[in-house]
Amino acid sequence: MNNVHSAKRVPDESNKKYTLVLPFLGSYTAKVERKIKQSFKQHLPEVHINFVYRASARLRSMFAFKDKLPHYLQSSVVYKFKCGGCNSTYIGETVRHTKKRFYEHMMKSPLTDKRVSRVVPSAFNQHTTVCSSEVKYSDFEILCKDTVGGISRQIKETLFIHKDKPNLNNRKG
C-alpha cells in the first residue's frame, strides 16, 4: 500500500525574516519598496522583509571633521623638485616634515629662513651651485603620501624615479 501522507515532515522554516537597506530617495523609494514587496508575496510568500532607509547624503560627507594638515607639516612623503632655471628634476622621499626636508635642499634653516653654513654634498646641492636659479619652496611637489610606512615609501620613490627618470637622481636602485 502506497500512502502519500505518511512521508516525514521537515520542520517548517517558512517564517524567514530579512532586512533590506534602501537609500532614501523620496517617493521613488516607496515605489521600489512596493514592487519588492509584491514580488516577494508572489514568488516567496513565506519570506518577510523589513525595510530600513538610509540617507543618500550622510552627514559625515557634508563636513570635514578632521582638519587638513598644512602642506609643510606633512611627513612620510615622496616628493619631486623641479628646478625653476633649467627644468632639471629630482625625486626624493622623507619620513620627516616636508618643510624641514625642503629647507635642507634649499640650504636654509627652517626656523630662521637663513642660509646654513654646513652643506651636505649631494647631486642636488651640486646642481644648485651650477645652476644660477635660486631653489624655492614652490619648486617642490608632493607626489604621494605613504600611509603604510617603512620600506613602502622607498619602493614608491623608486617607482617614481623609474617612471620619470629625473636627471638629478644619480644613485641606482
Q: Kindly give the parts of the chain with pLDDT less than 70.
A: 1-15, 56, 58-60, 64, 171-173
Q: Are residues 44 and 80 in the same domain?
A: no
Q: How far is CA 100 from CA 22, 26, 56, 118, in A?
A: 49, 52, 43, 15
| 1 domain residue, yes or no | no
| 10 domain residue, yes or no | no
pLDDT for 83-125, tens place per residue?
988 889 999 999 999 999 999 888 889 899 898 888 777 777 7
What pLDDT is recorded for position 143?
Answer: 94
Q: Are residues 80 and 141 in the same domain?
A: yes
What pLDDT is recorded for position 3?
Answer: 44
What pLDDT is recorded for position 7?
Answer: 45
Whole-angstrom Cα distance, residue 20 to residue 67? Answer: 35
Q: Are residues 19 and 76 in the same domain?
A: no
Total tally of structural domains belonging to the chain: 2
Q: Are residues 36 and 106 in the same domain?
A: no
Tell me what percent of the chain is helix, strand and coil, each rounded to the nearest 5.
35, 20, 45
Q: Are residues 44 and 75 in the same domain?
A: no
Of residues 50, 54, 55, the one with CA closest to residue 36: 50
Range of the domain at 45: 15-58
